[in-house]
A and B are shown apart, each in its own frame.
Chain A
Amino acid sequence: MKRTLPLVITFLSGVFIVVAFFIPHEPFGSLEQRMLVWLAILSGFTLLLGVDSLVKHHVRKISRKSKDTFYSIVTLVGFFGTLAAGIVTWAKYGTPLEFASLNEIGSFFWVYRWIMVPLQGTMFALLAFFIASAAYRAFRARTLDATLLLIAAILVMVGRVTMGVIPAVIALATLLIAAGIYRFFMRKPVFGAILVVIGAAVAVLLLIFPHDAVRLAPHVQEWIMSVPQTAARRGILIGVTLGVVAMSVRIILGIERTYLSST
């Protein structure tokens, strides 16, 4: 019963939602809406489960006095401090998100604006440093695939800058010529010659038409994004969607039962 009942509920709900999609008239339409409201309510309860899990986890860590206890204390102080700020603002203004005027904000909004936003921003800003370092160390034109990927990446980046297009294109031409010469050393003269010719052509064109390079860069970027990138992305998308449909059918029919693993 413990396994059968969830399977029956899943089957009936799944079949009903599919039917309601194709027959949106009464009573299916309003029943579907009712089920969607239930789903939204259930989603709210999952947030509570998350809060419960977070608090329990860190309380347990503090009680065990593990080596990361300090971070658990910071987490709990942050959590309950924000909660307190929200309750105080709610009591005072009727909503935690009070934004009475541009100069008067509630304590919850203050915590959000002056603590959470800078913290989240700082964490994400670190990415720039790691990407730059990783690009330098790992992004190398070692193979044909890597070279093509690199050229495409540089062209897309060049198309998204508003200044420095010419130095970037010079760098690209230099890379192409260097990669071509390297291929000669690796005894791949045909590919090497192709890269050298392309690199030289880019350099010569840049010398003759420097302004056109600046004008063309966004169009080249747009073409890469709209044609080869979109073609590949569309293929992936179709594959993923077919997989989702197959998995959904398996779940509705009770073939896929991993979501019941805890029972």
Chain B
Amino acid sequence: MKFVKWLTSVDRRIIFLLVILVVLVPMLITISIPFEVGEPAQNAFNAMDSLPPGSVVMFSVDYDATSYPECHPMIVAMTHHAFKKDLKIILVANIATGLPLGQEALERGAAEHGKEYGVDYVNLGYRPGMVAIMVGMGREIRDFYAQDYANANVDSLPVMQNVHNYDDIALLVSFAHGMQVETWIAYAGARFGQQIIGGVTGVVAPDLYPYLQSGQLVGLLGGLKGASEYESLINRKGLASRGMPAQSAAHILIILLIVIGSISEFIINAHSRRKK
């Protein structure tokens, strides 16, 4: 009974230490475990993969460094997929502090695939007024993005030559850690029929399942698992695949902690009841 009582009031620093161990050890040793790709991630891959070369996709950076481990591998993987398929990428951001992450992903992908700025991809930067921009782009993108992030006139960039509104964008991908995907669905999807994929943190993913079922989202990458699924689909192991064993170990630890905590409490309650 003494041990059980100790278990219920264990020092939280011991739990912290366990978390450090279960996250660090799988990261230090390379573990590769095959897993099944879920339907939402497969649909996202299919939507991107089925686009003809030269199609324009819009990437919206709706996350920042707080969600880097989950959302960044998604944008990296999708950038490589898009460039490999010879798709054109337009980058926009609804979170100012996330824009450089998207830019970095694009620049690295472009360097690897030999793509040229302004011809194969463009960074339109951040503009305040998320909803106004989402609705307004249905009519004319230039009303809100007359210049790119470096103040170059968008009309001078070949990639933007025939791109004016959602009719010219084959697919929109929002990498988000908040409600931005729902906002894209409400304003770009529902009103203008824009095809949308969500690349979101694990916490946000459950909120988007109704849209997935209704067809308002053509695909969904949820959390690190979604990102690693996409990486496995494009046969390119990246940050997510390397992080999955650590996340899995942490999940298992949390499950074990919950079970141990509950059973300890059952024993103490049953013991005190018997005493009475």
A interface, CB within 8 angstroms of B: 21, 29, 33, 36-37, 39-44, 46-47, 93-95, 97-99, 102, 109, 112-113, 116-121, 123-124, 128-129, 131-133, 135-137, 139-142, 150, 153-154, 157-158, 160-164, 167-168, 171-172, 174-175, 178-179, 181-182, 185-186, 215, 218, 222, 225-226, 229-230, 233-234, 237
Closest 7 A/B residue pairs (Cβ): A40-B129, A43-B129, A120-B65, A161-B248, A43-B128, A39-B132, A182-B266
Nearest neighbor of B96 in chain A, beta-carbon distance: A47
The residues of A that contact B253 with a CB separation of less than 8 Å are: 132
Partner of A222, one of B38, B100, B129, B207: B38
Q: Is the interface of B mostly helix, strand, loop or mixed?
A: helix
Contacts across chains A and B counted by CB atoms under 8 Å: 215
How distant is A247 from chain B, measured CB to nearest CB, in Å?
16
| B127 at interface, CB cutoff 8 A | yes
Q: Is the CB of B136 within 8 A of A33?
A: yes
Q: Is the CB of B252 within 8 A of A94?
A: no
Q: Is the CB of B100 within 8 A of A112?
A: yes
| B225 at interface, CB cutoff 8 A | yes
Assembled-state Cα–Cα distance A154/B256 (Å): 10
Nearest neighbor of B39 in chain A, beta-carbon distance: A222
Assembled-state Cα–Cα distance A149/B162 (Å): 51
Partner of B33, one of A36, A139, A163: A163
B interface, CB within 8 angstroms of A: 10, 12, 15-16, 18-19, 23, 31, 33, 35-36, 38-39, 64-69, 97, 99-101, 103-104, 107-108, 111, 123, 125, 127-133, 135-136, 139-140, 143-144, 149-151, 191, 202, 205-207, 209-210, 212-213, 223, 225, 228, 244-245, 247-263, 265-266, 269-270, 273-274
- Contact A161:B247 (CB < 8 A) given known A136-B258, A218-B36: yes
Assembled-state Cα–Cα distance A48/B199 (Å): 30
The residues of B that contact A39 with a CB separation of less than 8 Å are: 129, 131-132
The residues of A that contact B249 with a CB separation of less than 8 Å are: 163-164
Q: Is the CB of A154 within 8 A of B103?
A: no
Using A95-B150, A162-B225, A226-B209 as known contacts, list a sample of 13 further A-B pairs with CB atoms less than 8 Å apart, ordered by residue number in A: A36-B143, A37-B136, A39-B132, A121-B65, A121-B66, A124-B65, A131-B254, A136-B257, A136-B258, A163-B33, A164-B249, A171-B255, A175-B259
- Contact A95:B149 (CB < 8 A) given known A102-B111, A164-B248, A164-B249: yes
The residues of A that contact B140 with a CB separation of less than 8 Å are: 33
Partner of A135, one of B108, B136, B258: B258
The residues of A that contact B125 with a CB separation of less than 8 Å are: 97
The residues of B that contact A222 with a CB separation of less than 8 Å are: 38-39
Partner of A161, one of B38, B149, B251: B251
The residues of B that contact A132 with a CB separation of less than 8 Å are: 15-16, 18-19, 250, 253-254, 257
Q: Is the CB of B23 within 8 A of A171?
A: no
The residues of A that contact B100 with a CB separation of less than 8 Å are: 97, 99, 109, 112-113
Assembled-state Cα–Cα distance A60/B149 (Å): 35
How distant is B19 from chain A, measured CB to nearest CB, in Å?
5
Q: Is the CB of A230 within 8 A of B210?
A: yes
